[in-house]
Amino acid sequence: MSARLRTSILLVLVSIVASVSVSADPSAIPPDPSAMHAELKETEGLAGAIAAAEKAAGGGEAVQAQYYSATNQVFVTVARADGMFSKVTISMLDGDIVTIDEQGRFPGDPVSGDWTETESGLKYYDITVGTGESPAGPSAQVEVHYTGWLNDGTKFDSSVDRGESITFALNRVIAGWTEGVGSMKVGGKRKLIIPASIGYGERGTPGGPIPPNATLIFDVELISLP
């Protein structure tokens, strides 16, 4: 990295343009990478580090750039075509790539492309389309494995971690699950993005892990119809 580039970056004490994590708003959806990239392009002083990070990530568009004077490093997040993000750390001492870590726009299995949105506000991606039957109706029993996160990536529950699937009637859970799992086929896996209106609403789970008005993200696998 050139001395001129290093000097220009050092002039930026802290430059935080955008982030792949959501703000403190629990109802927000992780932001769209293309909008973040457009905003980042308007920032001056970090162009060299951004270009280096995009190259190190194997292509894609940067959506975040931060300089920290305490560590003399630049942190750049690059959105890739496969739906994943590469978080690249660059040393300002020698211009070397220090680390490259990966994460998705959403927690859990990576997804790309457009989601499907229903009239209720439910959004989902089919990670794997099942080949079996679908539940017969809202009172049908289903067996699933699932993991749930808040929009900031905080995991609050997981049958996968416990190593034990769960069985329940679709009309005994939140409406987002009734709808989202109810249209799956056995053998399928789906990422559900559930707004509070069909989740836990304005109250969340008092005393529990889900705050009021929380958007919830689940990876759900439909194992069987007992």
In the chain, what is the straight-line distance between the N-terminal and C-terminal CA atoms, in Å? 61
CA–chain centroid gap for 197, Å, is 20
Our answer to whether residue 106 is catalytic in this structure is: no
From 67, 85, 106, 200, the catalytic residue: 200
Q: Is the CB of residue 213 less than 8 Å from the CB of residue 24?
A: no
Our answer to whether residue 200 is catalytic in this structure is: yes
Strand partners, 76: 65, 88
From 82, 97, 109, 156, the catalytic residue: 156
From 9, 146, 210, 223, the catalytic residue: 146
How many CA atoms lie less than 13 Å away from 62 in the CB half-sphere? 26
Q: Is the CB of residue 64 less than 8 Å from the CB of residue 49?
A: no
Our answer to whether residue 219 is catalytic in this structure is: no
From 29, 97, 127, 174, the catalytic residue: 174
Our answer to whether residue 157 is catalytic in this structure is: yes
Our answer to whether residue 174 is catalytic in this structure is: yes
From 124, 218, 219, 223, the catalytic residue: 218
Our answer to whether residue 85 is catalytic in this structure is: no
From 82, 109, 152, 157, the catalytic residue: 157
Sheet holding 61-68, edge to edge: 61-68, 73-79, 84-91, 97-104
Q: Is the CB of residue 96 less than 8 Å from the CB of residue 117?
A: no
Q: Which residues are known to be catalytic? A: 146, 156-157, 174, 200, 218
